[in-house]
Amino acid sequence: MRTALTLLAGLAALAVLGGYLGAVHPLGDSLAVFRLQAAGALAILSALALLAGARQGGRLGMLLALVAGVPVLWAYGSGDAAIVDGLRLYQKNLLYRNDDLAGLAQDIRAAAPDAVTLQEVSEANLALLAALEPELPHQLHCPFARVGGTAIATRLTPVAGTGLCADGLAALQVEGPQGRLWLVSVHLHWPWPQGQAAQVRRLLPVLEGLQGPVVMAGDFNMVRWSATVAAMAQAARVQPAGAVHGSYTGFAPWLMLPIDHVLAPGGGTVEVRGGLGSDHLGLLAEVGL
């Protein structure tokens, strides 16, 4: 029994440690998605190994579980920063076959954002942009994958000629409350073995080339503590806004993946909105510039 528990704890430890190697190989970021779950499994197995007499291995496993799990738990419970004269942004992956566009439009109007970032803007979902045009008249839609493109809608005046479409990215420079800033909507592919890493390599130079403050939001299909999100945040010179929230509901109620994010130069606060026809919850953020 002790040998079996030690072996299982070792496998859990490898999963935890591998999740820190996303900068070396994209498999690391795929493991990082489940860091909290792997750390929890490691803690349980290490405790059982301790009870079975494997003292050294059990203690090391418990220590690793704490080192890996506590920062993730902390990210869920902290992160809000007081914002003055910031920007209000509504982030939403629509789901390409959204069946409640009217309800979503109503929720966006009620939130009264300065800007909206959208993903999976399919042909059918273009109706949402049309419905929001009176409140958010300045819009940019960039085609992307089969499930639909990325889009930005804002009440802020755009800077002429700055609309930019890249691989799963829409960017638009606007006249903000404190000067010009870039609004960026991002939709990344699923991680390894899918094509996320290659896509990010193509997008990093685009983000680095945006001159001035950036507010970036989207469906990153990746967790905040990954090498992927860290690299994109560094390229855009931004930091996560608010606490981590489980936003992808495809595995609910058993698992809510925190893969939708809002990032800004001064961080900010984030509250969760309803699904409203999508398998992603919306995020309403007040961000600092």
Tokens 């994109």 appear where? 232
Q: Burial of 76 by CB count in 10 Å (0-12 exposed, 13-18 middle, 19+ buried)?
A: middle
- Residue 165 tokens read as 């479409």
Within a domain: 241: yes
Report the pLDDT averaged over residues 251-271.
Answer: 95
Specify whether 194 is located in the same domain as 71: no
Residue at a domain's end among 28, 53, 77? 77
> DSSP 3-state assignment of 262?
strand
Q: 15 and 158 share a domain?
A: no
Report pTM: 0.94
Instruction: State the helix-helix crossing angle for 196-208 and 227-236, rounded to 10 degrees.
Output: 20
Sheet with 115-121, side-by-side order of all strands = 138-145, 148-154, 115-121, 87-93, 283-287, 268-272
pLDDT higher than 80, residue 70 = yes
Q: Do 117 and 185 contact (CB within 8 A), yes or no?
A: yes
Provide the pLDDT for residue 79.
Answer: 65
Domains identified in the chain, total number:
2
Same-domain pairing of 184 and 232: yes
- Least confident segment among 176-180, 195-199, 279-283: 176-180
CATH number for the domain spanning 277: value is 3.60.10.10
pLDDT at 90 over 80: yes
Q: Which domain holds residue 166?
A: 87-287
Kindly report the average pLDDT of the chain as a whole number: 95
